[in-house]
Chains A and B, each alone.
Chain A
C-alpha cells in the first residue's frame, strides 16, 4: 500500500467516524433525551472530527529516495477529484434548487442552511475523493513481488 492509499484510507475512516458519531449524537439527543430537533442537530458538531484529516500528511511522511508518486498516481488523483466534484455539483444544484421549488421564488431559508451546504459539500468531496482513490488502487491490494 503506497502513501496516497494510506492517506486516503485514514481520511476515509476519519470522515466515516465523524458522520457516524454525528448521526448517533443526533439520534440519542432527539429520540432518547427528547431534545427538540433544532437542538439535537447540534450533534453535527462531531463533523469537526474531520479536521483530523489534516494530520494524514504528517502521519504518512514521504520516504526518502524511493519514488512514491508517478503518472499512475496522478491519473488516479485526477479521477478521484473529478468524481468528487461531479457528485458535489449534483448535490449543490439539488441543495440550491430544492428550496426554490419547495418554498417558492420569494421564500427564505436560514443562513444556517448555507453553512450546512458548505460543510456538507466539504464532507461529500472528501468522502467521494478518498473512496474513488481506494477503489482505483483496488481495495484488496495484493501488491505481491513476482
Chain B
C-alpha cells in the first residue's frame, strides 16, 4: 500500500501509515478515527493523502488510537544535519 507523504519547510519528507494502520485495526472508518482523536474527518483525509502534517499532540493521539509508538505511524525521511 502506498505511503502518504508530505514535506516540511526543509523539503524533507514526512510519511505516514495512518491508512494502513486503520485497515489493520479492524478497518475503522476515517470518521471513527477522527472521533477518537478529536478532529474532523477532512483532517484525517488530508493526513492520509499527505496534504497535511499534523501537530505533535495530534500525532501522539493518532499513535495512541492505534496502540503503537509514534514512529510506527510517522516517519521523517531525509539526511540528518
Q: Do A and B bind each other?
A: yes
Task: Flag if A67 contacts B48 (CB, 8 Å).
Answer: no
Task: Flag if B39 contacts A71 (CB, 8 Å).
Answer: yes
- Out of B19, B30, B38, B52, name the residue touching A72 (CB < 8 Å): B52
Please encode chain A, from 25 to 65, with 1 for each CB lying within 8 Å of some chain B CB and 0 for all others.
Answer: 00000000000000000000000000000000000000000
A106 contacts the other chain (Cβ, under 8 Å)? no
Bound complex: CA A66 to CA B55 (Å):
20
Size of the B side of the interface (Cβ < 8 Å), in residues, is 19
Bound complex: CA A63 to CA B66 (Å):
27
The residue in chain B whose Cβ has the minimal distance to the Cβ of A68 is B40
Please encode chain A, from 65 to 83, with 1 for each CB lying within 8 Å of some chain B CB and 0 for all others.
Answer: 0111111110000000000
Task: Flag if A2 contacts B48 (CB, 8 Å).
Answer: no
Bound complex: CA A66 to CA B39 (Å):
9
Task: Flag if B29 contacts A145 (CB, 8 Å).
Answer: yes
Bound complex: CA A86 to CA B35 (Å):
35
Interface residues, chain A, CB within 8 Å of chain B? 2, 66-73, 137, 141, 143-146
